[in-house]
């Protein structure tokens, strides 16, 4: 809507707020800021939980807020508030200016007003009416948990759904003026199996962005079979023996290791902190030549895709590693300012209460030429990690990941299931040991928690072989 006619003392979604936003930005610039950014958000979320054969929780939530970020030289001040009135936003600007101790307002950057409104939300306004109703969700979740009831060893069955609809306005003193609507939906299944002293669990999560009808076509039966089979396979599994061994990591969520152990080290926030071993390795070999790794925000429907990042830049496809050579870092506005690496459309935040930071989107190792069988056949004594659990990376780059579903490899064949395995290592030592990549790249949704909160991401890879890694066990 063209709305220079609309005058309001409060940000109103669906209206043009150009005059008001410009006034607030001018105010910050007059006070001596180098750069002013306003991020305004309106959310409408809901979640549903089915346990056994009942809906046990329906949780709607909604809210609104603004984050104001001011840069002066290489410092930034960030203020968040629930007050979207002109006075409230002006107060936040003043607070940020005061925090940065800006007293010299003579040397000013120029603000020429906001550019033409880039409205990415136009085709998305109908989404809220297209997402499944609570009734539809409840029915499907109950069918899903019923599908998990395959034998009496399954003692706990859960299905969960969540939907996050986020409407944003981003305006900044470089002229950026953007609106967008983001929709993320996830559905997950969890089981616990038990027999005498034996216990196992299984879980799977599925997710999409910008696809309101996705959940309606979700194949719950296939998902239930997968989770059930995984928990049954692991129920009587022995604990794995600890040791150094070759492993094959499955595709899809197996990519979480690259995400955590290497991807985070390629974010400019890590360069700013001085905590990445790859800081001065651009155009140097950091991985086996079979490895090409990509971070992008453009795959249609993928959980980490976005039309525009939280700083108003369209996401690009960034080839991080090409044939083992480090080619690029993931950068946001602050990263470009402080490290010199160009922005990649990766400025992301959980919500208005976080300043954007350089964050991954859809991050994966590109496919190679081998079949899964080629990889397994090449190992005489090792471990196949079919399903990964969570993990973490320490301050010095060491990672640790739980293997949710693992199988021993003996003489090129998969044998017994094993539990209790963890993969331990350091990215710079493990990356050169990824010697084979499969031809079966697949992506999986997840949530990544870091400096700017929890954001939706996709991890992925084909099956890959790591020549040697420490496996923790009993």
Closest to another protein by CB, 58 vs 282, is: 58
Q: State which residue, 55 or 128, has the beta carbon closest to another protein.
A: 55
Residue pointed to by tokens 């009587």: 236
Report the residue from 2, 110, 196, 395 that binds another protein according to the rule CB under 8 A: 395
The answer to whether 98 contacts another protein (rule: CB under 8 A) is yes
Region from 72-80, 141-149, 283-291, 440-448 binding another protein, contact rule CB under 8 A: 72-80
For the segment 6-35, give every residue that binds another protein (CB under 8 A).
none
Q: Which of 11, 16, 31, 138 binds another protein (CB under 8 A)?
A: 138
Contacts (CB under 8 A) with another protein, residues 313-372: 353, 355
Pick from 113, 243, 301, 340: which binds another protein (CB under 8 A)? 243
Which residue from 25, 48, 306, 376 is in contact with another protein, where contact means CB under 8 A?
48
Nearest to 154 by CA among 223, 220, 188, 202: 202
Segment contacting another protein by CB under 8 A, of 213-221, 364-372, 418-426, 458-466: 418-426
Tell me which of 15, 65, 374, 413 binds another protein, using CB under 8 A: 65
Considering only 74, 216, 342, 410, the residue that binds another protein (CB under 8 A) is 74
Instruction: Pick one of 273, 301, 381, 416: the residue that binds another protein (CB under 8 A).
Output: 273
The stretch near another protein (CB under 8 A) out of 165-173, 280-288, 386-394, 431-439 is 386-394
Least distance from C-beta 81 to another protein, angstroms?
5
Under rule CB under 8 A, residue 450 binds another protein: no
With contact defined as beta carbons under 8 Å apart, do 86 and 20 qualify?
yes
| Residue 242 binds another protein, judged by CB under 8 A | yes
User: Tokens 């395959």 label which residue?
Assistant: 150
Q: Per CB under 8 A, which of residues 189..228 are in contact with another protein? A: 192, 199-201
Residue from 8, 15, 80, 439 touching another protein (CB under 8 A): that is 80
Instruction: Please give the Cα distance from 222 to 8 (Å, whole number).
Output: 51
Looking at beta carbons only, is 340 or 390 nearer to another protein? 390
Contact 358, 268 (CB under 8 A): yes
Binding of another protein by 129 (CB under 8 A)? no
Candidates 221-229, 325-333, 363-371, 384-392: pick the segment binding another protein (CB under 8 A): 384-392
Scanning residues 99 to 118, which ones bind another protein (CB under 8 A)? 99-101
Closer residue to another protein in complex, CB, 175/472: 472
As measured in angstroms, the least distance from the Cβ of 59 to another protein is 4
Contacts for 142 with CB less than 8 Å, ≥ 6 apart: 50, 53, 54, 55, 159
Asked if 391 interacts with another protein (CB under 8 A), we say yes
By CB under 8 A, how many residues form the interface with another protein?
Answer: 71
d(CA 354, CA 94): 18
Question: Is the CB of residue 84 less than 8 Å from the CB of residue 145?
Answer: no
**76 touches another protein by CB under 8 A:** yes
């Amino acid at each position: 809507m063209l709305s220079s006619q609309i005058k309001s003392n409060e940000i109103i979604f669906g209206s043009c707020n150009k005059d008001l936003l410009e006034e607030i930005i001018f105010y910050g610039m007059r006070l001596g800021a180098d750069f002013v950014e306003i991020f305004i958000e309106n959310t409408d979320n809901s979640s549903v939980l089915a346990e056994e054969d009942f809906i046990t929780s329906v949780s709607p939530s909604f809210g609104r807020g603004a984050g104001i970020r001011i840069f002066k030289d290489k410092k930034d001040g960030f203020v968040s508030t629930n007050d979207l009135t002109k006075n409230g936003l002006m107060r936040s600007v003043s607070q940020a200016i005061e925090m940065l101790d800006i007293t010299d307002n003579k040397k000013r950057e120029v603000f020429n007003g906001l550019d033409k409104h880039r409205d990415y939300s136009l085709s998305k306004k109908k989404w809220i009416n297209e997402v499944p109703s609570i009734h539809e969700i409840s029915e499907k979740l109950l069918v899903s948990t019923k599908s998990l009831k395959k034998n009496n060893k399954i003692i706990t069955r859960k299905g969960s759904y969540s939907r996050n609809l986020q409407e944003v306005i981003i305006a900044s003193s470089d002229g950026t003026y953007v609106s967008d609507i983001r929709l993320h939906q996830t559905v997950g299944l969890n089981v616990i199996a038990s027999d005498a002293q034996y216990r196992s669990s299984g879980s799977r999560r599925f997710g999409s962005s910008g696809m309101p009808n996705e959940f309606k076509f979700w194949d719950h039966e296939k998902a239930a079979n997968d989770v059930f089979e995984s928990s049954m396979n692991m129920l009587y599994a022995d604990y794995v023996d600890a040791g150094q061994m070759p492993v094959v990591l499955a595709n899809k969520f197996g990519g979480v290791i690259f995400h955590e152990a290497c991807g985070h080290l390629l974010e400019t926030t890590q360069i700013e902190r001085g905590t990445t071993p790859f800081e001065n390795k651009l155009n140097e070999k950091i991985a086996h030549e079979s490895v090409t790794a990509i971070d992008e925000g453009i795959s249609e429907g993928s959980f980490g895709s976005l039309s525009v990042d939280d700083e108003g830049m369209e996401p690009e496809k960034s080839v991080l590693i090409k044939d083992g050579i480090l080619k690029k870092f993931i950068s946001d506005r602050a990263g470009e300012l402080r490290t010199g690496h160009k922005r990649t459309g990766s400025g992301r935040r959980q919500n208005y209460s976080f300043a954007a930071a350089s964050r991954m989107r859809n991050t994966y190792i590109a496919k190679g030429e081998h079949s899964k069988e080629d990889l397994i056949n090449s190992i005489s004594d090792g471990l196949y990690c079919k399903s990964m659990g969570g993990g973490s990376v320490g301050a010095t780059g060491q990672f640790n990941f739980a293997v949710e579903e693992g199988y021993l490899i003996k003489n090129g064949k998969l044998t017994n299931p094993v539990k209790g395995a963890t993969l331990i290592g350091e990215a710079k030592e493990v990356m050169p040991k990824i010697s084979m990549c499969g031809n079966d790249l697949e992506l999986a949704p997840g949530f990544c928690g870091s400096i700017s909160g929890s954001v939706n991401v996709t991890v992925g890879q084909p099956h890959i072989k790591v020549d040697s890694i420490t496996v923790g066990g009993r």
